[in-house]
Every structure is written in structure tokens, then in C-alpha cells.
Amino acid sequence: MAESRKTTVIGFLNPNGQINVRPLGIPGTDHGQSLYQMACSHCGANYGANGSDIHHRRCPACQGGNPSTGGWSLDGGR
């Protein structure tokens, strides 16, 4: 599918029900990437993801996705 929607726009919802909450303003783990806060619309989990992963990210809590990228956590702040 030729999806041209911007995955880095706040509020973007990917096919797995994962929502882009906000840019975290910290470097990601891929070259040239930065981290975004993602929220799961199924269980409400919040976690970090590289911008390039937003479109296919799965929830680490209820979809067996990778752990929060960069070790970011809502409680840990930053």
C-alpha cells in the first residue's frame, strides 16, 4: 500500500492500534532516528519507539512487541 501518511505526526495510529503520543526529544537507537512516545490503544501501555518503527510497532505489553526502545519508560521520565 502506498501509505504516505506521516507516522511522526502526533496522533498517528498504526495498523496495530499503536498511537504516536509525542516526540521525546532524545536520540533513537537507529542512525539518524529520534524517539517517540507511543501508547497502546488496547492496554494503555506507554513506551518508546524509533521514528522509523512507528508504522509497524507492536505493543511490548500485549502484542509481543520489542521492549521500549532506548529503555525509555513513562515512570522513568526524561
Q: Which of residues 26-65 bind Zn ion (CB under 5 A)?
A: 40, 42-43, 45, 59, 61-62
* CA-based max dimension of the chain: 37
Report if residue 19 touches Zn ion, rule: CB under 5 A: no
Least Cβ distance, residue 47 to Zn ion (angstroms): 9
Q: Which is nearer to Zn ion, 35 or 59 (CB)?
A: 59
Tell me how many residues contact Zn ion (CB under 5 A): 7
